[in-house]
Amino acid sequence: MPVTLRKKAFSYKEALQLGLSQHDLTKLIKQGLIEKTGYGQYRDASLLHEPEADYQMAMKVTRSPAAICLLSALAYYDLTDSIPKKVWVLVPQEVRRRHPRLRLVRKRNPQWNVGIVEKSGYAITSIERSIVESLILHRLIGKNEALAALKRAIKNKKTTIPKIYNVARAMEVDARIQAYLEALSP
């Protein structure tokens, strides 16, 4: 397997560009060196239990502007005890993809310029944006989960209430979460 494909998720097209054929991919799967994660999507088999590999795979599958969000982002920042069964991905409303390992969160206006952090091979919502979205979209993850993440972030000094409020203001949802933030203010 080419060195450039190790420790990451990749598409069939990328494998072809590096000189691998369909036969080579099948052989690598049988040898247990790579895993097929979906139609035209593969990853290094040694990454099976690393969340970053799942995040990279999610970016490849969506093939559009996307970011890891909500429960997956809260787990990434250690703000929840829940272990997401799927990777939660923020995508534009028109994206229609099905994948057994993804939970798409479609938004009409995803606001890609507010609270999105670029990582190696994927993008993820910042701590502040993850908290704001969990409070706004509490129907998806549960109000108790959202409040627990907010309290844990403040308690562990991962962020501050003014930073969370600034992101909420930039997203134009500050009025919707103001009561939650005021309840935690000293």
Residue pair 41/34 in contact by the 8 Å Cβ criterion: no
Closest CA to 62 of 19, 123, 8, 112: 123
Clarify whether residues 104 and 163 are in a common domain: yes
Clarify whether residues 165 and 73 are in a common domain: yes
Between vectors from CA 157 to CA 155 and to CA 163, what angle results, nearest 5°?
110
pLDDT digits (tens, 9 = 90+) for 62-102: 888 999 999 999 999 999 988 888 999 999 999 888 888 89
pLDDT digits (tens, 9 = 90+) for 45-64: 776 567 887 898 889 888 88
Question: Could you give the strand order of the β-sheet that contains 116-118, starting from the edge strand earlier in sequence?
Answer: 102-107, 87-92, 67-68, 123-125, 116-118
pLDDT given for residue 1 in this prediction? 61
Global pTM value:
0.76
Clarify whether residues 170 and 85 are in a common domain: yes
Clarify whether residues 34 and 56 are in a common domain: no
Clarify whether residues 37 and 65 are in a common domain: no
Clarify whether residues 36 and 71 are in a common domain: no
Clarify whether residues 151 and 80 are in a common domain: yes
Clarify whether residues 22 and 95 are in a common domain: no
Q: Residue 27 belongs to what domain range?
A: 3-47
